[in-house]
């Protein structure tokens, strides 16, 4: 599998002991290993390896090596609508950093904080790629994609209740965005957004055929 990003395992639901074994193996070989959706029981099995591992708790991400952003790439700006969207936004942001992208955050600028977007238009303009995480009505990507010339990657979250249907409502909003060109990820898939952003950035810096 040629994906251009380091090995990432999906930890959720996996046997904690098995995940630990893989980590010990990668640590012994001094290689980068990233885990996403690290639940409490998985982290419990990894915890005493803790000083050899980096753990982003909000992002539910664990890695053996620190991020090394590549300054030649354009900045990935991760935007979130509300406080409850943070885990997904953080997964996107931390992964983006781990994959080598300069990464910034602009959180909590959904309906209740929309005025902050106006204030931050400069940051939006300086960014190269926008990742936007939103639940409930999921309108933020439509809004931002109407203001910005950059590629917009939208990630629906399961924030909301009732007819939000665990993220289906914002997923549909994003797929049907009136502002054209919004690229959509699976509900809660901040990781996928980071991979797509990395592939875009890689295109900017490649010197030979992909």
Per rule CB under 8 A, is residue 136 in the interface with a second copy? yes
- Asked if 70 contacts 48 with a C-beta cutoff of 8 angstroms, the reply is no
- C-alpha distance from residue 60 to each of 22, 106, 188 (Å): 17, 19, 12
Give the angle 56-24-8 at the CA atoms, nearest 5°: 50
Per rule CB under 6 A, is residue 83 in the interface with ligand AMP? yes
In angstroms, give the least distance from the CB of 6 to ligand AMP: 10
Residue 21: what are its φ and ψ, rounded to 5°? -60, -45
Question: Quick one: 111 or 203, whose CB is closer to ligand AMP?
Answer: 111
Binding marks (x or -) toward ligand AMP, 167..186, rule CB under 6 A? Answer: -----------x-x------
Per rule CB under 6 A, is residue 9 in the interface with ligand AMP? yes
Question: Quick one: 43 or 191, whose CB is closer to a second copy?
Answer: 191
Per rule CB under 6 A, is residue 189 in the interface with ligand AMP? yes
Residues 6+ apart with CB under 8 A from 184: 153, 154, 155, 156, 171, 174, 175
Residue 133's H or E segment, with its range, is strand 129-134
Per rule CB under 8 A, is residue 71 in the interface with a second copy? no
Residues between 168 and 197 that touch Mg ion (CB under 5 A) = 178
Residues 6+ apart with CB under 8 A from 47: none
CB atoms within 10 A of CB 192: 19
Choice from 100, 102, 110, 192 touching Mg ion (CB under 5 A): 110
Binding residues for Mg ion, per CB under 5 A? 81, 110, 134, 136, 178
Binding residues for ligand AMP, per CB under 6 A? 8-10, 36-37, 82-84, 111-112, 178, 180, 189, 191-192
């Amino acid at each position: 599998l040629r994906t251009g990003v380091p090995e990432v395992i999906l930890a959720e639901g996996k046997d904690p002991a098995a995940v630990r074994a893989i980590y010990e193996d990668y640590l012994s070989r001094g290689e980068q290993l990233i885990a996403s959706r690290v639940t409490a029981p998985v982290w419990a099995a990894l915890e005493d390896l803790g000083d050899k591992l980096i753990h982003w708790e909000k992002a539910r991400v664990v890695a053996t090596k620190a991020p090394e952003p590549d300054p030649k790439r354009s900045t990935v700006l991760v935007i979130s609508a509300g406080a409850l969207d943070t885990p997904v936004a953080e997964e996107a942001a931390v992964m983006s950093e781990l994959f080598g992208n300069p990464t910034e955050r602009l959180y909590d600028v959904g309906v209740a904080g929309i005025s902050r977007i106006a204030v931050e238009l400069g940051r939006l303009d300086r960014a190269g790629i926008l990742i936007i995480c939103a639940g409930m009505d999921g309108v933020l990507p439509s809004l931002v994609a109407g203001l910005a010339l950059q590629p917009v990657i939208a990630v629906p979250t399961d924030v909301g209740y009732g007819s939000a249907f665990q993220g289906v409502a914002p997923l549909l909003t994003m797929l049907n965005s009136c502002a054209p060109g919004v690229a959509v990820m699976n509900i809660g898939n901040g990781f996928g957004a980071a991979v797509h952003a990395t592939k875009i950035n890689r295109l900017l810096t490649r010197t030979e055929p992909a």
